[in-house]
Amino acid sequence: MGAVGGSIESLSIDGRTFPVAADAEANVKLGGYEKEVQPNGDGSSRPVKSRVAWSISGVSVQVDHDRGDQEFLQGIANQNGNVNVVITYANGISYQGRGTITGELPYNTQNATIELELAGPQKLTQQ
């Protein structure tokens, strides 16, 4: 199968699956390393590798108040540790890792969604 873009199908956080808004343009970083090249005074240069966390941002998930979704997400944000996270793309491929919710959790009353940012150590791995 070639490249398939589109909506993220779902996002599972600590075993609870959230439908993702079809128009959400999420950005996903698998984690690992980022490199930059720093110059030396003699005109040569050296690569500098920095370890970076995996992350996903801009993903809007449906919030169902009957399930207590807003309270569940705030509870994850309040925890000190990481939980299991699974991101499933439109083509059916999933990536998993351990992480937590970062940033604010503003509930959008018009759309019944919350835009999430998550991040975690190590790398996201394809299932």
The answer to whether residue 43 scores a pLDDT higher than 80 is yes
> In the chain, what percentage of residues exceed pLDDT 90?
90
Among the listed ranges 4-8, 31-35, 51-55, 118-122, which one has the minimum average pLDDT value?
4-8
pLDDT tens for each residue of 92-120: 999 999 999 999 999 999 999 999 999 99
Res 30: pLDDT: 97
The answer to whether residue 1 scores a pLDDT higher than 60 is no
- Cα distance between residue 65 and residue 109, in whole Å: 11
Res 2: pLDDT: 67
| Tokens representing residue 12 in the block | 């599972």
Instruction: Fold for 8-126, please state it.
Output: Elongation Factor Tu (Ef-tu); domain 3 (2.40.30)
Task: Answer for the pair 123, 97: CB distance below 8 angstroms, yes or no.
Answer: yes
CA 121 to mean position of chain CA atoms: 12
